[in-house]
Amino acid sequence: RISLLAKKLTDQARKKYSKIVGVHIRQGDFRAYANGEYYFSPEKVALILKDFIDKTGLADTCFVIASDEKIKPEIFSGLNIVLSSGKIMEDFFTLAQTDLLIGANSSFGAFAAYYGNIPMAIFSAEPLDWNFYLDQKKFFFDQKSIAHLPQLLN
């Protein structure tokens, strides 16, 4: 049932937009984790999404936003957005059904990208090479991710 609700949300977006990008904003614990190094406020995320549109020219992109806290839609003014439900499993399946995931450096987003077999770009204060991510056609391992475990497996 949950994945059907997620599919309905993404299917409706696909009727209107050519590209569906999942956005995972992790707020709560990331404000303090590692002195806030991995925290990106919704306002900063809006700037990242506007950079995506500016650099790719994909103005007909819909951003499906999932967050662990309420999001004020007006922060994303000028962007095509859909807010996910805020329910953890529904958000997970929704993000997994997008074309690309942009999000927090966390295992939640990484696993959603893996499950959906889609590429994931991690939020960064540095400009991202959006064409690199758009050229990816399936999940790939991003070495910047704290979600990876190689150091634990050695």
- For 115-135, the pLDDT digits (tens) are 999 999 999 988 899 998 999
pLDDT at 67: 94
Cα separations in angstroms, 61 against 9, 26, 45, 55, 56: 15, 21, 15, 13, 10
pLDDT tens by residue, 77-116: 999 999 998 899 999 999 999 999 999 988 899 999 999 9
Average pLDDT of span 132-148: 73
Averaged pLDDT of the chain = 87
Nearest Cα to Cα of residue 123 among 63, 28, 40, 27: 40
C-alpha 9/C-alpha 7 separation (Å) is 5
Using the predicted structure, report yes or no on whether residue 16 has a pLDDT greater than 60: yes
Using the predicted structure, report yes or no on whether residue 143 has a pLDDT greater than 70: no
pLDDT tens by residue, 31-90: 887 777 888 999 999 999 999 999 999 999 999 999 999 999 999 999 999 999 889 999
Q: Are 94 and 84 in contact (CB under 8 A)?
A: yes
* C-alpha Rg value of the chain to the nearest Å: 15
pLDDT at 153: 40
Using the predicted structure, report yes or no on whether residue 137 has a pLDDT greater than 80: yes
